[in-house]
Amino acid sequence: MDEASCEVVDPRIRRTRQLLQEALGKLLETKEFEKISVQDVTDAATVNRATFYDHYPDKFALLECMVGSRFHELLSARSVKFDGTCSSALRAIVLGVCDYLAGTPGIDCARHRQMEPHMESAVIAVVRRMILGGLKQHPPEGSVSPEMIATTVSWAIYGAAKEWVRTPVRCPSDEIVDTISTLVSPILASTHGEPAHASKSF
């Protein structure tokens, strides 16, 4: 589902979508995603099926919007912003991804694997949009487009964070952030004419 379609201005539409997302979130606390039906969601949200389909084509689209909204709220609560030049902002984004994944019940469990691609898509979309917004404020040098750079960075951050989450005995999130930032920063540094080893400032 396109990330922009998760964002609405009309308060009535926003309220209905919030009810549906909250209902799904509550159901996920006690039930596997693959066993949750649209009817389960509408019953929990006290709306009818027609209303559900007015907003989402299926439960997978609902899941993506729910994940995207929750992750965006986490970043907003931490006042995370990226202007394309601040390494501390990049670290804050990485920490947000790590904390979100670590705080998602069952993310490292096989029974929730059906959710994984949709969670991945939603989180990456939020990170990509934030990185892209910063790059457009300070356009990169060279022929590589901001869109390509933002996509590469967002996938790299998510992939590294997911690997960390699946580590049986993992270090705290604030420690792994340094490692992930060191791996990702050179991509951004190279777009502004900095040497590849300039991972602390770009």
For residues 38 and 95, state if they share a domain: no
| Residue 188 within any structural domain of the chain | yes
pTM for the model: 0.82
User: Domain check: are 52 and 69 in the same one?
Assistant: no
CA angle (101 as vertex; 96, 102 as ends), nearest 5? 100
Whether residues 45 and 71 fall in one domain = no
Task: Provide Rg for the chain, Cα atoms.
Answer: 18
In a domain, 147, yes or no: yes
Q: Are 70 and 150 in contact (CB under 8 A)?
A: no
Whether residue 141 sits in one domain with residue 86: yes
pLDDT in the model for residue 112: 63
DSSP 8-state code for residue 8: -
User: Is the Cβ–Cβ distance between 108 and 199 less than 8 Å?
Assistant: no
Q: Structural domain of residue 26, as residue ranges? A: 9-56
Together in a domain, 29 and 115: no
**153-196 residue pLDDT tens:** 999 999 999 999 989 899 999 899 999 999 999 888 766 555 44
- Given this model, what pLDDT does residue 201 score? 44
pLDDT tens sequence across 104-149 = 866 656 556 778 888 899 999 999 999 999 998 888 777 889 999 9
Number of domains present in the structure of the chain? 2
Judge if 125 and 167 occupy the same domain. Answer: yes
Based on the domain organization, do 75 and 93 belong to the same domain? Answer: yes
* CATH code, domain with 17: 1.10.10.60
**199 and 112, same domain (yes or no):** yes
Give the whole-angstrom CA distance, residue 81 versus residue 40.
Answer: 37
Is there a contact between 59 and 28 (Cβ–Cβ < 8 Å)?
no
CA pair distance 122, 117, nearest whole angstrom: 9
Q: Could you read off the pLDDT of 2-60 as tens digits, one per residue?
A: 555 566 668 889 999 999 999 999 998 888 888 999 999 999 999 999 999 999 999 99
Same domain, 47 and 118: no
Specify the CATH number for the domain of residue 178. Answer: 1.10.357
Do 100 and 182 lie in one domain? The reply is yes
Cα torsion through 110, 116, 117, 122, rounded to 10: 180
